[in-house]
Chains A and B, each alone.
Chain A
Amino acid sequence: MKKRKCCKCSLGRKLGRLVLKLLGLALLANAALFAVFFFDLDGKLLFNVVEPLLKKHYDNMDRKDTLKAPYDMDKYPSYEYDV
């Protein structure tokens, strides 16, 4: 005689598997993050890759020649208050 499947049990098993999967994923993410932390991989990435790229970008940026700006000393009124 065939056993009838119980809907509740099957749903429970599915949920259980999902929870286990999520727990596994969380553990994996934790282990990966801990490896990044412990072996200073964030520092190594920033030092060896990100910073050199950014420095190259900043070194080659077009910049306004601020020395060409006139020094408008009389542009604004002088502030005199009678406190």
Chain B
Amino acid sequence: MAKKKVDIKKLARDFWHGKPHGERRLGELYEDKTGLYKHREWRGVKDTLYYFYMIWLYNYIFMVKDIMEMGGPINFAKGVWRYRWVGQTYLPVLHWFDRGMEGMRGETLRASAWHYRGMVNETIRQFQRMFVADTKLHGGKKTDAWYHTMAHNETVWGGIFYPWSDHFDNVAMEMIPYFVTCHVNCHTVLNYIDAVQSIGLPGDPCPMCQAESGLFVLDDMPDYAPFIITSNEACDASVATSILQDWFYDKPLFAMPQPMQFDDPLVQKHCRREIEECWKFIEEQTGVPFNWDQLVKKLRQQNQLQEFEREKWEVAAKTPYYPINGVAQALYRIYYSQDGDRPIWHFCDKKVRKILEKCVSKKINTFPKTRHRVIAWSCAPLYYSHWCTWAYNCWGLNVIINMDSLMFDMSIRTDTYDHCLDDMATYHMWAPMRRMAVGGMHHIFELWENMEKFNCDFVMMYDQLQCKGMQGVHGHFEDEFRSRNIPAVWMPHALPDSRTVSRAEIRRIINDYMTTVMHEEPLDPSLLDFDDSMGW
């Protein structure tokens, strides 16, 4: 039997530069079922060392630094011991980086990792603030931090609280205990979904609302603020969440629902009035008057973030030099646009700007194996937000933009109080899962103009099985896809609940479409089918 000839030159080249796309066989790196790596990917000397020092080690070190600076290790340890959602979820955070950045190289790896760093820092700020203020961790004592923190639903935009941001901090109730956990460790949230069903709630309402209520049923919410601001989170199921939150939290509550109809001057007027009423409520609860100058200062800073976002979109739409992958783009954008202005976003944007400018000036093709430029529409599966990374590595499907990123495309005017309030009302009405998901046909069908604008030729259509809003327009999309001759894949999922449609099932649906409809061959066949059912 002839011996297989070893190509030393190729081995050396693979060691130095990493294997080229198509020869990587990334699926063989996984341990069966757990999704853990037999070993992490060798990306070539430069990128492996970058990943090791500037992503893995850097983020571990800065996570510790963030914890020391924002509340200290004792509050953190107490929080981990008391709350499942932090202990079970946030310790393996570096694996979340791994999943999002598999196969990435060069500037793409760097820019995407800065987005993740921003989210980690802001996540630590939020849970540490909760723990510092939490009466449950301090023997029932209401600390100064408790009196100076405002609690609200995650879809109440952080900008509502800007007028008090020089003296108070605001933390969304569910952004960290629910939303971010699903991305980092998809198993944690299942405890909360089951908890609320165990008290008699049927299983078919939106699992997001179920999980958010379940946190309260299991008494797993910190008591960190004297009052709360709720919204309907733009759907009826969430109204029920607010009722349960009102019951279990038992605090003064101001309800500021997003109107179910908008694009209407009368509704706009109503919404303006509600924001002003909310401000009055905060004034009454805190005893601190509304600060217009502080509001303007923060809004202008937030507008800077939006301006840079538009620059990023410009590069993404018109060139192949955009260095941010689909999952980093989507999560970072929805995180900061809902959370509001924080110093970490400016810090990360500065880093990303440098990388972006380098890519454009040197004409670096950041996703060279792109076969299709994809736009992802509707609400994504939280437990598989990194499907975009898999889809690029396996099929060359490059997600350029997504619906959630485009929702808050607006700068808020600060020249007069009237203009400012008008724009803030619009921003509030364009809540997540609202404008382009259940916000009427005009907005839902903004897909077509964005597809053209971002030069996309392929649609990944998310199908949240338990969202009654989007199910009503399923047929309209089917008709449009056919008449416009657009390749589109429906991706069923149940938002945070990975049991309804598994990650493997999502991959199978995409694989089937790519082979039977598109007649394409995978770039990395080892990624077609693998079992990560127990993976984070």
Contacts and interface: CB of A to CB of B under 8 A. Distances in A.
B247 interface: yes
B88 A75 contact: no
Contacts of A39: 37-40
Contacts of B36: 40, 43-44, 47
Interface string B193-236: 00000010000000000000000111100000000000000000
A69 B36 CA distance: 42
Given A37-B40, A40-B37, A46 B281 contact: no
Given A34-B52, A66-B248, A43 B273 contact: no
A64 B219 contact: yes
Interface in B337-356: none
Interface stretch (B89-97, B138-146, B370-378, B486-494): B89-97
A83 B273 contact: yes
Contacts, number: 81
Contacts of A79: 254, 277, 281, 284
Interface string B271-286: 0010011001100100
B199 A67 contact: yes
Contacts of B252: 76
Contacts of A67: 199, 217
A33 B276 CA distance: 54
Nearest to A53: B87
A38 B40 contact: yes
Interface string A48-71: 001100110110000110110101
B87 A58 contact: yes
A83 B284 CA distance: 14
Given A37-B52, A79-B254, A81-B277, A43 B37 contact: yes
B477 interface: no
A55 B250 CA distance: 29
Contacts of B81: 57
Contacts of A58: 84, 87-88, 191
A59 to B, nearest CB: 9
A77 B341 CA distance: 33
A67 B247 CA distance: 9
Given A37-B56, A69-B250, A83-B277, A54 B87 contact: yes
A69 B248 contact: yes
B57 interface: yes
Contact of A81 (B216, B218, B248, B280): B280
B291 interface: no
Contacts of B284: 79
B34 interface: yes
Contacts of B248: 66, 69
A83 B52 contact: no
A72 interface: yes
A52 to B, nearest CB: 10
A49 to B, nearest CB: 11
B56 A51 contact: no
Interface in A27-47: 33-34, 37-40, 42-44, 46-47
Contact of B219 (A34, A43, A54, A66): A66
Contacts of B247: 69, 71
A54 to B, nearest CB: 5
Nearest to B34: A47
B363 to A, nearest CB: 32
Nearest to B284: A79
B88 A51 contact: yes
A47 B80 CA distance: 16
A42 B87 CA distance: 15
B277 A63 contact: no
A74 to B, nearest CB: 12
A43 B39 contact: no
A50 B37 contact: no
Contacts of A37: 40, 52, 56-57
B92 A55 contact: no
B28 to A, nearest CB: 14
A37 B217 CA distance: 38
B97 to A, nearest CB: 11
Interface string B507-536: 000000000000000000000000000001
Contacts of B281: 79, 81
Given A37-B56, A63-B219, A43 B277 contact: no
Contact of A63 (B34, B92, B218, B253): B218
Interface of B: 34, 36-40, 52, 56-57, 80-81, 84, 87-88, 91-92, 94-95, 98, 191, 199, 216-219, 246-248, 250, 252-254, 273, 276-277, 280-281, 284, 536
For the complex of A and B, the 6 pairs showing the least CB-CB separation, nearest first, are A40-B37, A58-B84, A71-B247, A64-B219, A83-B276, A54-B87
26 contacts: A37-B40, A38-B52, A40-B36, A40-B37, A42-B94, A43-B98, A44-B36, A47-B36, A47-B92, A50-B91, A51-B88, A51-B92, A54-B80, A54-B84, A55-B84, A55-B88, A58-B87, A63-B218, A66-B217, A66-B218, A71-B246, A75-B250, A76-B252, A79-B284, A81-B280, A83-B276
Given A67-B217, A81-B276, 17 more contacts: A34-B52, A37-B57, A39-B37, A40-B38, A40-B39, A43-B92, A43-B94, A43-B98, A47-B92, A50-B91, A51-B88, A51-B91, A54-B84, A55-B84, A63-B218, A66-B218, A71-B247
